[in-house]
Structure 1
Amino acid sequence: MISGLRPLLSVVRPYRLHLAGAIGSGVLDQALTVAIAAAGAWVAGAAITGAGVAQLRPGLIVLACLVLPRAVLAFVESHLAHDMAFRILVDIRERLYVGFERIAPAHPKGHRSGDLAATVMDDVERLEVFFAHTLSPLCVAVVVPAGSVAALSFIHPALALVVLPVAGLVAFVPAWLRGRATVQGRAWRLRLGRLNATAVDGVQGLREIAAFGQEERFLVRLGAHGRDLHEAQLAHARRVGAERAATDLLIGLGVVGVLAGSAVLVAAGAMPVALYPAAVVLAAAALAPVTKLGDAARELGVVAAAGERVFAVVHAPAMAPEPAAPAPLPARPAALGVSFRDVSFRYGPGLPPAVSGVTFDIAAGETVALVGHSGAGKSTLTNLLLRFWDPEAGSVRVAGHDLRDLADQELRELICVVPQEIYLLNRTVAENIALGRPGASREEIETAARAALAHDFITEELPDGYDTVVGEWGARVSGGQRQRIAIARALLRDAPVLILDEPVSNVDAESERLLGLAMARVRAGRTTLLVAHRLSTIRTADRLIVLDRGEVAEVGTHAELVAAGGTYARLVRHQLR
């Protein structure tokens, strides 16, 4: 069981003082609980056998002195265990986000957002059971029963021999069913992830589902996932019930065995009658901590499965690992040259190449447009320039340096992107613009917005101006306004290399005109890679790289390529038609 939970144990090391305190106070708490119960049983046994007040007074004093410390220790153990658990969960969430950042975007593209949300939220919360309710009870379940058995053997060794095998069997039940618990835990977490993913799909696509009258079909699919989860939870509950029944049966047999053995010993004169209640109490005290451990262990299948999902992301290797010794770059100039040298890449084994043998240069300050049909490799090349992936062959270079030799943070500062699908955080307009340079002043934010032709609509059309919360995905602003906010963000970033990915897609003519003016400003003096389909945008580039099935088909200006009558000329004729 412990080997399967080793990844969880590894994150406890920085908090070993918390753990030691929780274990120590837990052991003392249970020891005092046993002492109180044993002392009370002794007082009851002595009173039954006719002891006077003077004889009972020491036992009563002990009981009175132990009650308050026991309550304090119970609080300390719970506080330390939960403080440790919550601190560890904070660390795990941070490491989980770093893992997402390291493997993005390749890993998330293969996973539904609801399933990832379940990993971030629910799976991490599940780990609290292990850190707060399992580690400390595990040690208590070893130490306290040993002390109780020792005290029981002091009363009579035969009683200890009755309790020991029962305690061993109670502890063995969760380990015996460990394999089944692991399988059931994985099934539970997997089906919960599917249900969450489907629910998130439904929320994000609510308008489309309603517009096409697919509410009933969506609910049927959601219900099917709910029933699958119910079956997994029911199987888990049946196993938990069987474990609890087996544990209760064993404990009952142990207590009955001690009752019977004590009765025989008392009848034979081998044990004082006054110790009879104490013997029974000590037997129960030896088994109670093991029972608590069993209660926690029954959930370890789900906990281990949640840990597997979390640490699969935390320990996932980067798709583009950072170099051990990054190459130093000189002081950042206003513009940097970019070059692709014989670049080939595919998105997975067995898939056709997305790009193959691509070679071209972009001079410092030049704007080059990537042109081609959908699937020609335009977005792949921009992703390689952002180093979301590394090419299988060839190299992508900035200022003469292979991207694989640069530190990730330094590369991010050199390149800025205005994507086709603009994502705005559910924060204010000012905060979304400041994402380009955190810590920027309001004056700097407004200057960037003015340059992006966004200041007027922000101050005149939005209810709270720069303090307007834009809603999820920027729902409170139009597509053209989102684009201009993104351009303001890029201007504030002030990176020497700029990627514009379909900057005027899905906007009207007036928005396209304003965006064209804003783009001219953001491109000025920067090395720009422009991905576009619209002829009005393509013609503003200094040079065009025409892609066809992942390869470079033509290179030249708009006029040169139209006159050549090749692939680009056919694209233009198709668009004009």
Structure 2
Amino acid sequence: MTSTVHVHEHGHGHSHGHGAASAPASGLSLVARLRSLMPLLGEHRRLITVAYLAGVLHQLLLLASSGIGAYVVARAASGASLDQLTGWLITLGCLILPLVVLSIADSTYAHVAAFRALADTRAKVFAAFERLSPGYMLERRSGDLGSAAVSDVEQIELFFAHTLSPLAVASTVPVATTVALGWFHWSLACVLVPILILLASVPAWLRRQAELHGNELRDSLGRMSADSTDTFQGLRELVNFGAHAQRLGLLRTQSARLAKAKAAHGRRSGIEYAATDTIALLGILVVLVLGAWLVIEGELDRSLFPVAVVLAGMAMLPVLKVTEVARELSMVASSADRINTLLDAPAPVTDLVSRPPDGPIVPHVRFTDVTFAYRSDLSPAVREIDFEIRPGETVALVGRSGAGKSTCANLLLRFWDVTDGSVSVGGHDVRDFPQEDLRGLMTLVPQDTFLFNTSLRDNIRLGRADASDEEVETAARAAQAHEFITTLPNGYDTVAGELGALMSGGQRQRIAIARALLKDAPILVMDEAVSNLDAASEQAVTEAMDEARHGRTTLVIAHRLSTIRTADRIVVISEGRVAETGTHEELLALNGAYVELLASQLEGFIEDDAS
């Protein structure tokens, strides 16, 4: 029984909701949620600052060049000579190179900073996965976690590369433009300011709807990703049980929900587009009419009239750009919520020390009055568990599903910490080891083996990355895997397929055993390690594991009699407690819980064995 199944049986299993990275119902404002992304910039703040400065200078020079260009056109139209315009034309020519350089610098530095920040954020997300495994992951859907690691991180690029610098520009250029128009005539500045304020406030009008739509869209994308992943991974079962139509109906439902969320997001964006464009055109029109009236009244020089209209339009552009980006910021905020939820999630266990105990560690495992509950609102999965595994000894944990066997293995590996009591290795509480050092002492061979979509050689080498090809082959031979590997077209270079799909269950299990043998840790934990093997393979692997267990402290979680009876001692777990302890023969003689377990699970094998 795997830990996933056990946890599920105790009410702490997989969530069928949107999963880990879904945005919480946050009471924070959009600005506060976006501000939470700033720490992710880290050491790249300097690059963003350079981009800010380059962006502001570029827009100011663009503003100046546009104004000069409009002035030159107006003067030329009024009959000015070339000599009168030469100075202005030279100035325009001198502005070309700085405009190009600053434009490149703005875009380059902003994107470089953004992409580096995204790379750092992905590393933090993957580190969070490692820190939170396995407890946090058991409650989450892999497709949604993948969405957090990929699409949510990509989404925040919009904030780093396309929001921060334009925001700085939008808060600077309109001020400079207003000052320039005020210098032409005070009334031009007076009519432009409220229009700019009105234009900038458009995103706030539909802020609540934007946040709701952003959360719904990100949630729908996460659900769609998770359900699609489930479907791809379960295609064989869907076809086998004729459930593909039902599953397709679920995907259609999720697709319809996603389409509805996108449509709502699009409608709101359309309203914002219409509102901002209308206000911007209204602003230009107002300046145009007022400027024309001032010219007629003699209050404004004719040559400054086109300059005023151009400057008014230029003042709108940075604000329009920010409002355009702001339409998508609700999506960015939702992604920020999901990422921060993951990064801030408390780990099931944390290192309490920075170094392991001094001296050699004897592989002696001891459970002392161990009680553990997966959550405070659940009944304990195990109660007052007390047993030991002496160095070099093999102990089999047996019991019905949900009895607490895999929980004991999880506590030994310190995937969770005990509620009461202690688990010790070599006389030291497992909490007295850094997790990396503790797990370096152990190897887990699970019931469900995960193979990566890479070569079998690299899959085995997962047990020790620096192992030579000869060491990999030696481990494969000991795990009875070498023979079938060499019959494959590419031998050890054969790709296992996604989730090991190109391998049989028995082949995957022998690869897992080869990994364990290659790692060569002093403590071995086997969770139904031979359950997927046929009789011939089981016999071969059992012989190999008998040899591999020599000199190792081994904890075996087993149901098969062939595995159980080879253990030095057997611990029977019943309803989370130790019911009996002894050898196979001793427990048969007791005619108690062990015999009842064999009678119910092995269907008569006990009678054959006794005879």
Normalised by the length of structure 2, the TM-score is 0.92
Q: 1:443 to 1:38 in 2, by over 3 A?
A: same
1:382 to 2:423 alignment: no
**Offset, 1:445:** 1.4
Aligned to 1:179, the other structure's residue is in SS state: helix
Matches within 5 A, 1:306-385: 306-332=335-361, 335-385=362-412
> Structure 1: which 5+ runs fail to align?
none
Which residue does 1:444 correspond to in 2? 471
Equivalent pairs counted in the alignment come to 574
1:239 to 2:268 alignment: yes
Pick from 70, 94, 97 the counterpart of residue 41 of structure 1. 70
**Offset, 1:453:** 2.3
Matches within 5 A, 1:483-498: 483-498=509-524
Q: Which amino acid aligns with 1:521?
A: E
Aligned to 2:453, the other structure's residue is in SS state: coil
Q: Which amino acid aligns with 1:405?
A: D
Matches within 5 A, 1:270-281: 270-281=299-310
Aligned to 1:568, the other structure's residue is in SS state: helix
1:81 to 2:107 alignment: no
Distance 1:476 1:226 in 2: 30
Give the conservation status (yes or no) of the 8 Å contact 1:114–1:197: yes
Pick from 403, 408, 414 the counterpart of residue 435 of structure 2. 408
**Offset, 1:172:** 1.9
Give the conservation status (yes or no) of the 8 Å contact 1:452–1:521: no
Give the conservation status (yes or no) of the 8 Å contact 1:483–1:515: no
Pick from 283, 296, 318 the counterpart of residue 254 of structure 1. 283
Give the conservation status (yes or no) of the 8 Å contact 1:365–1:528: yes
Which residue does 1:59 correspond to in 2? 88
Moved more, 561-570 or 347-356: 347-356
Give the conservation status (yes or no) of the 8 Å contact 2:33–2:336: no
Pick from 378, 390, 396 the counterpart of residue 423 of structure 2. 396
Distance 1:464 1:247 in 2: 62
Q: Which amino acid aligns with 1:391?
A: V
Distance 1:521 1:494 in 2: 12
**Offset, 1:13:** 3.4
Give the conservation status (yes or no) of the 8 Å contact 1:487–1:522: no
Distance 2:293 2:142 in 1: 66
Distance 2:341 2:493 in 1: 39
Give the conservation status (yes or no) of the 8 Å contact 2:125–2:343: yes
Distance 2:214 2:386 in 1: 50
Q: Which amino acid aligns with 1:566?
A: G
Give the conservation status (yes or no) of the 8 Å contact 1:425–1:471: yes
Which residue does 2:609 correspond to in 1? none
Distance 1:139 1:454 in 2: 62
Give the conservation status (yes or no) of the 8 Å contact 1:454–1:481: yes
What is the root-mean-square deviation of aligned Cα atoms in Å? Answer: 1.4
Distance 2:404 2:357 in 1: 31
**Offset, 1:405:** 2.1
Pick from 499, 505, 528 the counterpart of residue 531 of structure 2. 505
Distance 2:294 2:306 in 1: 13
Q: 1:185 to 1:324 in 2, by over 3 A?
A: farther
Give the conservation status (yes or no) of the 8 Å contact 1:369–1:530: yes
Distance 2:159 2:303 in 1: 41
Q: 1:282 to 1:324 in 2, by over 3 A?
A: farther
Q: Deviations over 1:291-342 (max 9, x none)?
A: 101111111100000111112111211111111544424235xx51111111
Q: Deviations over 1:255-279 (max 9, x none)?
A: 1121122112111111100000000
> Structure 2: which 5+ runs fail to align?
1-29, 605-611
1:220 to 2:246 alignment: no
Which residue does 1:543 correspond to in 2? 569
Distance 1:462 1:403 in 2: 42
Q: 1:494 to 1:329 in 2, by over 3 A?
A: farther
Aligned to 1:507, the other structure's residue is in SS state: coil
Distance 1:191 1:473 in 2: 26
Which residue does 1:470 correspond to in 2? 496
Q: Post-superposition, which runs of at least 4 consecutive aligned residues in structure 1 deviate over 6 A?
A: none
Which residue does 2:595 correspond to in 1? 569
Which residue does 1:68 correspond to in 2? 97
Distance 2:541 2:45 in 1: 57
**Offset, 1:87:** 0.6
1:189 to 2:218 alignment: yes
Q: Which amino acid aligns with 2:525?
A: I
Distance 1:131 1:470 in 2: 39
Q: Which amino acid aligns with 2:432?
A: D
Aligned to 2:285, the other structure's residue is in SS state: helix
Matches within 5 A, 1:134-213: 134-213=163-242
Give the conservation status (yes or no) of the 8 Å contact 1:32–1:70: yes
Aligned to 1:236, the other structure's residue is in SS state: helix
Distance 1:288 1:376 in 2: 67
Which residue does 1:103 correspond to in 2? 132
Q: Deviations over 1:347-402 (max 9, x none)?
A: 23432321111111111111100011111111111111111111211111111111
Distance 2:205 2:492 in 1: 62
**Offset, 1:2:** 2.7
Q: Which amino acid aligns with 1:509?
A: A
Distance 2:345 2:246 in 1: 36
Which residue does 1:12 correspond to in 2? 41
Q: Which amino acid aligns with 2:234?
A: G
Q: 1:477 to 1:325 in 2, by over 3 A?
A: closer
Give the conservation status (yes or no) of the 8 Å contact 1:487–1:518: no
Give the conservation status (yes or no) of the 8 Å contact 1:363–1:527: yes
Give the conservation status (yes or no) of the 8 Å contact 1:338–1:397: yes
Q: Which amino acid aligns with 1:118?
A: S
Distance 2:201 2:42 in 1: 27
**Offset, 1:478:** 2.2
**Offset, 1:102:** 0.9
Distance 1:492 1:373 in 2: 32
**Offset, 1:475:** 2.1
Distance 1:69 1:467 in 2: 55
Matches within 5 A, 1:300-311: 300-311=329-340
**Offset, 1:113:** 1.5
Aligned to 2:171, the other structure's residue is in SS state: helix
1:432 to 2:459 alignment: yes
Moved more, 439-448 or 520-529: 439-448
Aligned to 1:11, the other structure's residue is in SS state: helix
Distance 1:130 1:562 in 2: 68
Q: Deviations over 1:162-182 (max 9, x none)?
A: 111111222222234333222
Aligned to 1:254, the other structure's residue is in SS state: helix
Distance 2:177 2:559 in 1: 79
Moved more, 479-488 or 503-512: 479-488
Aligned to 1:50, the other structure's residue is in SS state: coil
Distance 1:443 1:147 in 2: 72
